[in-house]
Amino acid sequence: MMHVVIRCDASAEGGIGHLVRSISVADAARAAGHTVVVAGTIRSSLGERLLTDAGLETVEALPDLQVLAAERGATVVHVDDYLIGVDARAQVNASGALLSSMEDGTFGRRPADVVVDSTIRAERVGRPEDGSGEVLLGIAYAPMRAEVRAAREKRVDEDHDVSRGARVLIVMGGTDATGAAGTLAAVCAAAEGVAHVSVIAPEHGWDAVRAEAGEDVELLAPSPAFLERASAADLVVSAAGTTAWELACIGVPSLLVAVVENQRAGYEAALAERIARGLGTLEQVRADRSAATAEVERAISDLRAMRSWTPVGREKVDGHGAERIVAAWDAALARRIGTAEAPVTARPATPSDSPLLLRWRNDPETRKVSRDSDPVPWESHSGWYARTLENPSRELYVVERGGAPVGTVRFDALEGASAGEEWEVSITLAPEARGHGLSRPVLAAGEAAFGARHPGAVVVAAILPDNLPSQRLFAGAGYVLDPDRDDGEFDVLVRRDPS
């Protein structure tokens, strides 16, 4: 099981497209058995509602991704934010976590362990070599929420007869920061063959929409129910962002508008691949509304003649991009921990291991079976770790397989015992190393390193009774339950001379 921290923001200024895409990735990660939190600043009521509906926890977006990964126990940090710098990989890797990065052409481009550019035709354009690990290019990797796939299935069974007029839905993003909704509503209201115009826009912009398009348009507040409305529409006019790929996946005829500059490449590629038609940039529409109205009329005419362009989009955007991204994480982590044939050895911990060990300690599954299940903050860990390395009553080892860190084993001299005679052992396995049969080799490597320095020492392990994997691990390593020893809710198992 991985613990995934997704770094993204949502606001009225920047929109919620990054968040929508991130929720899709989170859905796929949780479906694969992983845990997920979102680290970001969410200043959008729709964004907050989407997170609530998805059951996703939001945590503080720390500026240093090394600290964020370590404090949150992240196995993977997935970044969907154009403003995060090119040093993100170095920060995340310093904690031993994997960096996954979403980009859109040159926007948000940075080196990462897994790079995703789900822009259509990205695989044809390619990407400059920058030392990144696996690079996933093209619309096959476009993340789609479960709700999108459900709308896709529903759309197949619906009848969309436009002979009596088309029902047109306009959506310019959850925030419509550019005020495009009113412009497009006016364009569509003026087109022949349009029976009804619905506009999804924030309520504070409704007066502006009415001022441009008149009182007859239906105004709807942004909400997760947008997908149901889109699935039922005959034609959708949309910004060329995340929504455009959702519409293609569902199979809704769409006319796209490149509302902002970073949508232009996706807009042009969508038209070239024939998964959507277009009205141009927002500036072009505003400069010549009659040309845009004529394009709406041509689209309706083709739909009446059964010349829909949706089959191409449904084929190219199948809705499983997020699952492919999560599978790439699994593969990258498997490569990172090495092969079963590689030697497993222990070495004394060093100052540079500090963020690595904090990340392992704060992994949610590790905390469940720890004496203290609360997450450890960076500052307190840093002080503790410095003291640990100087403490003669504590031995701390990092265990590696083929040079890749896979766990840590710690030995603490027990108070009241004869000097240097009795020590308590604890083991932490790297989250990404679970399920690879490494618990016993990690413990054995730590015991060997410790035993070489402390021959004849008695070692004890305190384990919760219901922590069956640890009970089996230590029993298999020769530790025996001592019923006369009391350690609160923990069982105490003893092994003599582990050297």
Q: What residue segments make up the domains of the chain, in order of their start?
A: 3-144+320-333, 149-316, 337-496
Q: What is the pLDDT confidence band of residue 137, given thresholds at 50, 70 and 90? A: very high
pLDDT tens-digit readout, 99-122: 999 999 899 999 999 999 998 889
Give the pLDDT score at 170.
96
Give the pLDDT score at 248.
94
pLDDT higher than 80, residue 416: no
Give the pLDDT score at 366.
86
Nearest-10 crossing angle of helices 45-54, 17-31: 10
pLDDT higher than 90, residue 357: yes
Query: How do strand 422-429 and strand 404-413 relate by DSSP bridges?
Result: antiparallel
Bigger pLDDT: 147 or 444? 444
- Tell me the pTM: 0.83
Tell me the C-alpha distance between 250 and 235, whole Å: 12
Bigger pLDDT: 47 or 77? 77
Would you say 42 and 18 are in contact if contact means Cβ atoms under 8 Å apart?
no
Which tokens hold the place of 414? Answer: 């027990």
Give the pLDDT score at 283.
96
> What is the total residue count of the chain?
499
Give the pLDDT score at 94.
94
149-316 architecture in CATH?
Answer: 3-Layer(aba) Sandwich (3.40)
State mean pLDDT over 186-209.
93
Tell me the C-alpha distance between 474 and 472, whole Å: 6
Phi-psi region of 170 (alpha: psi -120 to 50; beta: other; left: phi over 0): beta
Q: Same fold for the domain at 149-316 and the one at 337-496?
A: no
Which residue is it, tokens 């990258």?
332
Q: Tell me, which fold does domain 3-144+320-333 have in CATH?
A: Rossmann fold (3.40.50)
Which tokens hold the place of 215? Answer: 């009182």
In terms of Cα–Cα distance, which of 327, 278, 257, 316 is closest to 118?
A: 316
Give the pLDDT score at 200.
92
pLDDT higher than 70, residue 417: no
pLDDT higher than 60, residue 499: no
Tell me the C-alpha distance between 123 and 102, whole Å: 14
Would you say 167 and 233 are in contact if contact means Cβ atoms under 8 Å apart?
yes
Give the pLDDT score at 238.
95
Q: Which residues contact 180 (CB under 8 A, 6 or more apart)?
A: 172, 239, 257, 259, 282
Give the pLDDT score at 157.
62
Would you say 247 and 276 are in contact if contact means Cβ atoms under 8 Å apart?
yes
Q: What is the pLDDT confidence band of residue 71, given thresholds at 50, 70 and 90? A: very high
Bigger pLDDT: 238 or 242? 238
Q: Which residues contact 110 (CB under 8 A, 6 or more apart)?
A: 79, 84, 85, 86, 88, 89, 101, 103
Tell me the C-alpha distance between 119 and 139, whole Å: 6
Would you say 464 and 487 are in contact if contact means Cβ atoms under 8 Å apart?
no
pLDDT tens-digit readout, 270-293: 999 999 999 999 999 999 999 999
Number of H helices, E strands in the chain: 20, 22
In terms of Cα–Cα distance, which of 62, 103, 56 is closest to 81?
A: 103
pLDDT higher than 60, residue 498: no
State mean pLDDT over 56-65.
94
Q: Which residues contact 77 (CB under 8 A, 6 or more apart)?
A: 4, 5, 6, 7, 65, 68, 69, 88, 92, 97, 98, 99, 100
Which tokens hold the place of 22? Answer: 């991130």
**SS3 label, residue 200:** strand
At the top level of CATH, which class does the domain 337-496 belong to?
Answer: alpha beta
Burial status of residue 327 (CB atoms within 10 A of its CB: 0-12, 13-18, 19 or more)? middle
Q: What is the pLDDT confidence band of residue 497, given thresholds at 50, 70 and 90? A: low
pLDDT higher than 80, residue 58: yes
Which parts of 337-438 fold into alpha helices (H)? 354-362, 364-368, 378-390
Give Cα separations from 121 to 82, 89, 270, 497 (angstroms): 20, 25, 8, 63
Which residue is it, tokens 């970001």?
40
Share above pLDDT 70 across residues of the chain, in percent, rounded to a whole number: 98
Q: What is the pLDDT confidence band of residue 159, given thresholds at 50, 70 and 90? A: low
Q: Which residues contact 364 (CB under 8 A, 6 or more apart)?
A: 3, 35, 73
Give the pLDDT score at 118.
93
Which tokens hold the place of 349? Answer: 């911990």
DSSP state at residue 437: S
In terms of Cα–Cα distance, which of 37, 107, 44 is closest to 74?
A: 37
Which parts of 180-307 fold into alpha helices (H)? 180-189, 206-213, 226-232, 242-250, 264-272, 282-287, 289-304
State mean pLDDT over 296-313.
94
Q: Which residues contact 315 (CB under 8 A, 6 or more apart)?
A: none
Arithmetic mean of pLDDT over the chain: 92
- For the chain, the first-to-last Cα distance in angstroms comes to 32
**b/e per residue 392-402 (b: at least 16 CB within 10 A):** eeebbbbbbbe
Tell me the C-alpha distance between 16 and 258, whole Å: 16
